[in-house]
Chain A
Amino acid sequence: QQQVKQSPQSLIVQKGGISIINCAYENTAFDYFPWYQQFPGKGPALLIAIRPDVSEKKEGRFTISFNKSAKQFSLHIMDSQPGDSATYFCAARSTGTYKYIFGTGTRLKVLA
């Protein structure tokens, strides 16, 4: 129940295309859902985050869509660029805890 399931494991997108990464969870106590971007040799960096009282959040080319009833959320990267090539992790935090539960990661490659 503490898991966050992420798919796909890897994704190849043409430059200018839309990258979509999906996550699903079971624990209804999760109340904060960040997405992290990780480049090789670097630590995860916060990209965008959402709370369950909002169905969508957009920051530049990055959008989170959140479906509370389905317990699913997704990251959309519009106009994907080669510089977006990285590993993306969804995560969730449960109310009253200090920890993030991470998904298994999606390795995105954007072809020039």
Chain B
Amino acid sequence: EPEVTQTPSHQVTQMGQEVILRCVPISNHLYFYWYRQILGQKVEFLVSFYNNEISEKSEIFDDQFSVERPDGSNFTLKIRSTKLEDSAMYFCASSGAPAGRAEAFFGQGTRLTVV
């Protein structure tokens, strides 16, 4: 069964450092998403990406964040100058059509710990 894969599974970083979270979406999917889940809280939308550009972003997704599809298979989330409150589980998702018209498949997540 096709799946979304994320690396690393756990990332520990010093406050102020930059981190890049990596995702390999399902191969024929065109829509890509990042969500995050602070421990014990709900899953929150960060950004959606289609046709090599951001299609929608939340108020959480400020200038500290950026996304990129550097090649045909990877989708990355970069967090510049990390803060303690960025500690969360980050989920990548992909879908073959816009959310709501096709199922969004989620990866297993990257746990980011900022110390």
Give residues in A with beta carbon < 8 Å to B: 31-32, 34, 36, 41-46, 49, 89, 91, 93, 97-105
Contacts and interface: CB of A to CB of B under 8 A. Distances in A.
A18 to B, nearest CB: 24
B107 interface: yes
Given A98-B56, A104-B41, A105-B42, A43 B107 contact: yes
A100 B42 contact: no
A34 B41 CA distance: 18
> Could you tell me the dominant secondary structure of chain A's interface residues?
strand
Contacts of B75: none
Given A99-B48, A100-B99, A89 B42 contact: yes
B58 A99 contact: yes
Interface string B71-111: 00000000000000000000101000011100111111100
Give the size range of B's interface with the partner.
20 to 34
Q: Which residue of B55, B56, B106, B107 has the most chain A CB atoms within 10 A of its CB atom? A: B106
A93 B58 CA distance: 14
B42 A99 contact: no
A89 B43 contact: yes
Contacts, number: 61
Interface of B: 4, 31, 33, 35, 41-45, 48, 50, 55-56, 58, 91, 93, 98-100, 103-109
B4 A99 contact: no
Given A41-B108, A42-B108, A43-B108, A102 B103 contact: no
A98 B108 CA distance: 20
Q: Which 8 A-B pairs have the closest CB atoms?
A: A43-B106, A98-B48, A32-B100, A99-B45, A93-B100, A102-B43, A98-B56, A104-B42
